[in-house]
Amino acid sequence: MSTGHLLSQAHCFLFCLLSLVSFSACSHIVQDDVQPSVVAEPSYTISHHQALEKLPTKWWQVFDDPLLDAYIEQALANNFTLQEGFARLKQARSIQNQAGSQLYPTLDGRVRAESEWEAENTRTDSNRIELDLSWEVDLWGRLSSVAQATSFETFAAEDELQGLALLLSVEVADTYFQLVVQYLYQQLLQRQIEANTISLNVIRLRFANGLVSLVDVYQQKQLLAAVKAELPVSEARNIILQNRLHVLLGQPPESTPLVFRQTFPEIPALPMLGIPADLLQNRPDLRQLQRELVAADYRVAEAVADRLPALKIGGSAAFISGDFITALFADALATIVDWGGKKSEVEKKKAMVEEKTARYSQRYLVAIEEVENSLWQERKHEQLLTALAEQLMISKATLRESRSRYIQGMTDYIPVLTALVSFQKLEINILQRKQEKISYRLLLYRALGTDVLGSDRDALLIDNSKNLL
């Protein structure tokens, strides 16, 4: 049979098969630039008028702390959770390459040597070289939809990695600053212990001279013991924080001693906030959800195309002991009756798109909420610290006056003790509130979002390939 006759038969077969298909379907249109089902306000509810700059990619450098810089860079290089993200990105890229290869023909080769023995030990040798070519024609865009879906899934994996890096950098910074505050807290406790010890010695002397009762001595002893009891708690907290920082750095706890600053950090000016819509591009988690949504929409297009006939064409060539043989084929396949199976698959994929659209919209609202909350918490915390500073000044004056009256014998020790307890609790409260203010600023940086690892997608794998071995 001639090659032309074979192709003619294949064309007739395909035409008849398409004519027998009992349904028709339009291609599914996918919109790559989908938006949340939310219309955000044009600006945030809080504004400021400071000289501002955009939040840098390496946002932690705004604190101007070389130790913090070194710890975060070390975590980005060695943290195992981040390495998981790199491995998932490599998997996604491999899947993307596999899907893209389906758009092109495949060529298989085979080499075979045979020997046959007949009567009287007669041997016949033959050599066979075969080449098989096969290609599925992407009539309805099914294969291209799969390729596009895996492409957006790869982008989503990159955004997931950026999100992990951002969360890691914030957690390292928060743990680091908590260690700084714990050091300052222990220094404050030591000062309070020294002050209470001096007060106890003065009261003991006055008791020895018969000027005060033994109750005053016991009351001051009780206060001193209460402050000393806070030291082991703080020391345990310090160990826990150091262990946590070690693990974030990819090290066993206490593998190397950790150093950190011993002064309270200066909180920089607020960064440029932009508008809520900027979060859609700046936050890795929102970009990830958007790309997962687009990928799911391409899966709908794949399911729609899968209901239509598939066409495969190809051919083969063989060299058999010097003879050249060729063959061509065309296969068309269409589902006539599947009892609604493929239609249900389309409906399922559409429902998944609806689910991801709702998740994307909800996460966008939460992202705006996180920025708003961080801004308002920091602003109100600043007002709180101002009020606490004024309260501390009054408490200090009260303590000074009550001590003076006690030494002059005008009152008993109760007013002094009350004023001293109040003053020392205020000192601790102010330190804790300052640490909370740093945490709110870190939450703001996380809420605004940035690509900690940079924007070069290829460099994401190249720079970290050593960690994936």
Domain boundaries, the chain: 3-22+35-111+125-457
Q: Are 219 and 417 a contacting pair, CB within 8 Å?
A: yes
For a pLDDT cut of 90, what percent of the chain falls above it?
A: 52
Q: Tokens in use for 133?
A: 């070519």
DSSP string for residues in 175-221: HHHHHHHHHHHHHHHHHHHHHHHHHHHHHHHHHHTTSS-HHHHHHHH
CA pair distance 199, 95, nearest whole angstrom: 73
CA distances from 197 to 189, 227, 311 (A): 12, 11, 91
Between residues 139 and 191, the one the model is more confident about: 191
Closest residue by Cα to residue 92 from 100, 81, 102:
100
CA pair distance 167, 171, nearest whole angstrom: 6
Residues in the chain: 469
**Coil vs helix vs strand at 104:** coil
Q: Are 420 and 26 a contacting pair, CB within 8 Å?
A: no
Per-residue pLDDT tens for 176-189? 999 999 999 999 99
Mean pLDDT, range 134-140, rounded to an integer: 84
Q: Report how far Cα 306 is from the mean position of its chain's Cα atoms.
A: 35
Residue keyed to tokens 């050091």: 183
Mean pLDDT of the chain: 86
- Whole-prediction pTM: 0.85
Q: Are 296 and 353 a contacting pair, CB within 8 Å?
A: yes
Q: Which helix (H) or strand (E) holds 23?
A: none
Q: Report how far Cα 86 is from the mean position of its chain's Cα atoms.
A: 12
What are residue 82's phi and psi, to 5 degrees?
A: -70, -35
421 C-beta neighbours (distance < 10 Å), count: 15
Closest residue by Cα to residue 136 from 317, 310, 328:
310
Evaluated on CA atoms 249, 253, 255, 257, the torsion sign reads: positive
pLDDT exceeds 70 at position 16: no
Q: How much of the chain is helix, strand and coil, in % rounded to 5?
A: 65, 10, 25
Q: Are 442 and 174 a contacting pair, CB within 8 Å?
A: yes
Evaluated on CA atoms 347, 156, 171, 449, the torsion sign reads: negative
Identity (one letter) of the amino acid at 25? A
Q: Which helix (H) or strand (E) holds 315?
A: strand 310-320
Q: Tokens in use for 44?
A: 């945030």
List CB contacts of 175: < 8 A, sequence separation 6 or more.
Answer: 241, 244, 245, 248
Strands (E), 61-158: 106-118, 122-137
Per-residue pLDDT tens for 153-183? 999 999 999 999 999 999 999 999 999 999 9
pLDDT value at residue 432: 94
pLDDT value at residue 342: 84
When mean pLDDT is compared across 62-71, 258-267, 314-323, 441-450, the lowest value belongs to 314-323
Per-residue pLDDT tens for 32-54? 888 888 888 888 888 765 556 78
When mean pLDDT is compared across 33-47, 111-125, 418-432, the lowest value belongs to 111-125
**Coil vs helix vs strand at 36:** coil
CATH node for 3-22+35-111+125-457: 1.20.1600.10
Per-residue pLDDT tens for 218-258? 999 999 999 999 999 999 999 999 999 999 999 999 877 88
pLDDT value at residue 183: 94
Strand 323-333's sheet: what is its strand order?
Answer: 106-118, 122-137, 310-320, 323-333
List CB contacts of 208: < 8 A, sequence separation 6 or more.
Answer: none
Q: Tokens in use for 183?
A: 């050091």
pLDDT value at residue 150: 92
Closest residue by Cα to residue 311 from 333, 329, 327, 328:
333
